[in-house]
Structures are given as structure tokens and as C-alpha cells.
């Protein structure tokens, strides 16, 4: 089984990134051939600052490794280090109906958030399809917000196969963890950097504690039971705590006698403990300046071997060889 997933280098990783993409990726790297890329081409749809992009790419590579991606088990690389992806994107564009892209909600959402309407943003799903199909990926972990783009990749793979032959590309399948595919932000909306409602994975303890303590709650008195349904505190706590610890947290809500301040402290302790080993691993990685560069260079070399074979097969099928 071949698995592939990628993340945009758009700033500090948050827990939505972790539970939606990275944690499943860490588990799945032992299930088959795993390809994990840093989507720096995609990041250019929202930022055109070169120094920021370079910094974000490196930070994401460090965080990938700190969170448990293992370069001896998986291929970890920069999207831009495999330029073959653009040729495949063009070949997919030649069979992509405009109506398919017009239906994609992500473009409309990004425009509504103030991003400039440009071709890269509109054609984002085609490049994402090329990211997947270039490596014969069979399974792709995605969050609910990216599910439509994977459906586009499947549609384009099927269209290419119908046009040029059934074995031209592999049609991928999604892997979606329903219980954590959509992580809420501290304001109750989907966690997103664009909403400024994220909780980072890594950072300074005092600042992160302050962030958790700022999570909005209602005015229920200390002595009264606290609402359980729709509780942001409980939704977060379920991500980090053991089942028994979470039952105790629910009981503290239902029984009353515990204020929101104390409940938030319990939440922070669970959160801080959950990522402790990853923080330690990150500090170790930072002591070797060449390690990340070496991992990315080796990953790109290995990825291009596969990409070249797949692209040559597609070129032959469409008549370009």
C-alpha cells in the first residue's frame, strides 16, 4: 500500500494540523510506502514573501520530524524539489472540465477571506491531484475540508484513464478519521490560521498556558454543573487525555463545584503532557543544522525516482514519449 499526504508551510503547526494530518501520517508510515511532502508550491497561493516561505518550509520540516515522521520509514520531501509534478498537472488540466473546478468550495472560501483571485488559487485542485497521482498513491489521509479536492483527484484520474487507458494512473482512496477530521478552534469554529483561533503544537509554555486560559466559556457559577454539550474545553480535552481522564473531566463538569479556571488548568496539563516527547525531540533536531537539509535532499532524490517512472508512463499513454 502506498500512502501520501502533504501540508502547506503556512506558519506554526497547530493541533488541527496534527490530528487531521500528522498523527494519522505517523501511524500510517508503518503500514506501507509513505510519501510526505511540504506543499511549498501550494503555499504561494496565499503568500509571495520569499524569506517567509523559506523559513516556513524549514520550520515545517523540523516539526514533521519532531512529531514522529521517520525518514527511514517514509519519504519526506519538498513539493518543489520534484518539478515533474507540474508536467503532470498540465496533462491533467487537458482533461479537466471547467465545471469541476467551478464547484470547488475552497476557491470561493479563500476569495471570501480576502485572497486575490488568481489562476493558481483556482487551479489548486489540479496541482493537488498531480501531487497524489505522481506517486501512484493508493490512500490519502485528508481532513474533511480537503475531501472535495481528493474527489477532484479521483475524478481526474478516472477521466485520464477513460481517455488514455485504464492503467494510466492509480485512482486514490481517502482516509478520513471522522472523530478528529475536524478540530474546533478556541472560538468554536473550525481551527484555521485564517480565523486566528489556533492552538500551536510547539511554543513557549507561558504563552500557550495563557492561550488556553483565554478560551471563552459561559457565566455558570463555580458551584453549578457546567454544560457538556458543545463544550470547547471537553472537545479539546478528548484529544489529549486518556479515556479515564476524560471521564473525570466530564464528571467535573456535571457535578459542579469546579470553576472554569480549574477546568482550563486541567486541559492545559493534558495538552502540555501530550506533546512533551515531541518538544524534546524538536530540541534535539535543532542541535544538528544539517540534519533537516539532509533528510529533505534524500527524500527528494527518492521521490523523483518514483515520479519519473509514473510521468514516463503517463507521457507514453498520452503520446508524448
Please list the active-site residues. Answer: 110, 190, 193
- CA 216 to the chain's CA centroid: 26
Alpha-helical regions (H) of the chain: 15-17, 23-28, 40-43, 50-66, 84-93, 98-102, 105-112, 119-122, 124-133, 147-164, 205-213, 232-240, 243-255, 260-274, 276-285, 291-318
- CA 24 to the chain's CA centroid: 10
Cβ-proximal residues to 69 (8 Å cutoff; 6+ apart), any chain: 22, 25, 26, 29, 36, 76
Query: Quick check: 290 and 64 in contact, CB under 8 A?
Result: no
- Encode 84-106: b = buried (16+ Cβ within 10 Å), e = exposed: bbebbbebbeebbeeebbeebeb
Strand 2-7 versus strand 74-78 pairing type: unpaired
Q: What angle do CA 50, 79, 16 make, to 5 degrees?
A: 85
- Using CA atoms in the order 112, 115, 117, 123, what is the torsion angle rounded to 10 degrees? -100
Burial of 219 (0-12, 13-18, 19+ CB in 10 A): exposed
3-state helix, strand, coil in the chain (%, to 5): 55, 10, 35
Query: Quick check: 154 and 172 in contact, CB under 8 A?
Result: yes
Place of cell 503532470: 88
Amino acid at each position: 500500500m502506498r500512502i501520501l499526504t502533504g501540508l502547506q508551510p503556512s506558519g506554526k503547526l497547530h493541533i488541527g494540523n496534527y490530528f487531521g494530518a500528522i498523527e494519522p501520517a505517523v501511524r500510517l508510515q508503518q503500514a506501507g510506502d509513505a510519501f510526505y511532502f511540504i506543499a511549498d508550491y501550494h503555499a504561494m497561493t496565499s503568500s509571495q514573501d520569499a524569506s517567509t516561505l523559506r523559513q516556513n518550509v524549514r520550520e515545517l520540516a523540523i516539526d514533521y520530524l519532531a512529531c514522529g515522521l521517520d525518514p527511514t520509514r517514509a519519504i519526506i520531501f519538498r513539493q518543489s524539489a520534484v518539478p515533474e509534478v507540474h508536467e503532470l498537472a498540465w496533462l491533467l488540466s487537458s482533461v479537466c472540465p471547467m465545471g469541476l473546478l467551478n464547484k470547488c468550495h475552497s476557491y470561493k472560501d479563500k476569495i471570501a477571506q480576502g485572497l486575490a483571485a488568481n489562476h493558481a488559487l483556482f487551479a489548486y485542485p489540479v496541482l493537488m491531484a498531480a501531487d497524489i497521482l505522481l506517486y501512484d498513491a493508493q490512500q490519502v489521509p485528508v481532513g474533511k475540508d480537503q475531501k472535495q479536492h481528493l474527489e477532484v483527484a479521483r475524478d481526474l484520474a478516472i477521466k485520464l484513464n477513460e481517455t488514455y487507458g485504464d492503467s494510466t494512473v492509480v485512482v486514490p482512496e481517502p482516509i478520513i478519521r471522522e472523530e478528529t477530521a475536524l478540530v474546533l478552534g478556541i472560538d468554536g469554529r473550525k481551527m484555521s490560521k485564517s480565523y486566528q483561533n489556533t492552538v500551536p503544537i510547539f511554543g513557549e509554555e507561558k504563552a500557550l498556558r495563557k492561550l488556553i486560559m483565554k478560551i471563552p466559556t459561559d457565566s455558570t457559577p463555580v458551584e453549578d454543573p457546567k454544560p457538556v454539550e458543545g463544550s470547547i474545553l471537553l472537545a479539546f480535552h478528548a484529544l489529549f487525555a486518556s479515556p479515564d481522564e476524560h471521564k473525570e473531566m466530564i464528571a467535573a463538569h456535571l457535578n459542579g463545584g469546579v470553576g472554569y479556571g480549574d477546568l482550563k488548568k486541567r486541559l492545559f496539563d493534558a495538552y502540555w503532557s501530550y506533546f512533551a516527547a515531541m518538544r524534546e525531540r524538536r530540541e534535539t533536531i535543532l542541535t544538528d543544522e544539517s540534519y533537516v537539509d539532509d533528510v529533505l535532499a534524500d527524500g527528494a532524490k527518492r521521490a523523483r525516482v518514483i515520479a519519473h517512472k509514473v510521468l514516463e508512463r503517463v507521457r507514453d499513454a498520452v503520446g508524448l514519449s
